[in-house]
Amino acid sequence: MKKEHTFFGSLFGAKDSPTEVGKPTPVTISSYSQPHVLQQRMREEKLTHGETVTANLSPVRLESSFGRMVLYFCPMKTIEVLETISAGDGGNIPSEAKVEGLTVPDGYKGGYYMLKNVTLTSNGTMQVKATEETIWECVKCDQY
């Protein structure tokens, strides 16, 4: 581990804390992530409110932003349902989305990826959750 010293940390009285080299980067979504595209693809797969599935999402876009990777649904063409974990109640899919537990290995660049083996559910919000088998497969990755 290396010690990381920051100007702002010292300025505001924060103590130095060790950080891991090669630590996975957290993935988030933003107000520009276009969750309506995820909602539309879920409808196309006949998913309903309360349903939980294991699925592949392809492609999604990752962009680096302030030490995090932001996930965008806008390029997504397909949801491949691998397994239905629980049936839905037939209701409407919510319009808001969140991601949970998604990270990418250190050094991943922005670009288009197939997000494989995530849990997708729609109870109150659309939720994309990482599993132990979740992987990011590069479809078209930025070179810089």
User: Per residue in 128-137, pLDDT tens?
Assistant: 999 999 999 9
Higher per-residue pLDDT: 1 or 75 = 75
How do residues 83-101 score in pLDDT, each as one tens digit? 999 999 999 999 999 999 9
Residue 143: the pLDDT is 53
Does pTM surpass 0.75? yes
Mean pLDDT within 12-32: 67
Higher pLDDT, 22 or 118: 118
Query: Structure tokens of 57?
Result: 């999402």
Q: How would DSSP label each residue in 17-42?
A: EEE-TTPPEEEE--TTS-HHHHHHHH
Q: How confident is the model at residue 65 (pLDDT cuts 50, 70, 90)?
A: confident
